[in-house]
Structure 1
Amino acid sequence: MSLDRPVAPDPYPLLPSTASFTVTSSDVSEGQPLNDNQVNEFGDTSPHLTWSGAPEGTKSFVVTCFDPDAPIVSGFWHWVAVDIPADVTELATGAGASDDTLPGDAFHVRNDGGGMGFMGAAPPPGDQIHRYMFVVHAVGEDRLGVDGSASPAVVGFNLAFKTLGRAIISGTYAH
């Protein structure tokens, strides 16, 4: 089940190093296939995530889901939730449905599918196994400094300078 192309690198070691902390999920198991409800054609339901051990000085969080294996140079952003309050350490299953399901003043920026919430796994049929990297970014500011019109790339640019730590859990999916 693989096209003849190399596997994309994990992008996070290519960024400036940060502290690490822990993220776990009752819906995602490290390196294992995603549940059907986290797949685009079956439900587009964001997974449960809980995290602990964020670095001292954390003032907010950003949660993302990125597929580095999409058959395009930029990868594919499935979820970007910004300005999650620092006292929040868990997002329930389905929290990525809309801004109304996020805590406090947190909000979504548009995913690469064009929606303002979580978009489930949707690799091309017959393509290789894709990795879906759910990342909790600990941010050293109350607000990242973007609004809902920002692209995931602009969020990532801001995170490059404001991230204190990162916690990552990855699931997989292929048609």
Structure 2
Amino acid sequence: MRILITYGSKLGGTREIAGLMARVLRDEGFDAEAAPPEAVDDVRVYDAVIVGGGLYANHWHHRARRFVHHHLHELRGRPVWFFSSGPLDDSASQERIPPTAQVRALMEQVGARGHETFGGRLESDARGFIAHAMAREHAGDWRDPGRITRWVRGVALELREAGRPWAGSAALHQEAPR
């Protein structure tokens, strides 16, 4: 089974989460790859898709949004999960953070099976006016590799249990286990 993990990432933290997810899925026996949206020409070659985006002022990264809109029809025909990264504190590890309204609307458009929000990362030497200003008080790495691994293993379990064909499968649940 071939799985795509694609992401919109400004400073690399979300890209690194996608890379971890691909490694975990490969360890679980899947053919998984992490790729930026602009490197994906045809979603139909994948059996499942995970789309992630960094959150900036409660907005998902524009490349993640653009990917979903561009591949809307194809995404509807396969299992899809979303993830967000961005809280610059430990809140994502303390409690479940629901998707933003923007992400929730995209989930509804493609029939996404679930969503998870993970902590973000901001380097102390971040470039750009806003990022640099935020880094003064919020620099750090709040990504939790164990939590990310558990979530993506839950996705892998759902895929194994559901079997094929994907479209309309009642065996797939809305939320993957945490």
Shorter-chain TM-score range: 0.3 to 0.5
Question: Higher relative CO (CA 8 A, sep ≥ 6), structure 1 or 2?
Answer: 1
Instruction: Name the structure with the higher helix share.
Output: 2
TM-score (norm 2): 0.32
Instruction: Name the structure with the higher strand share.
Output: 1
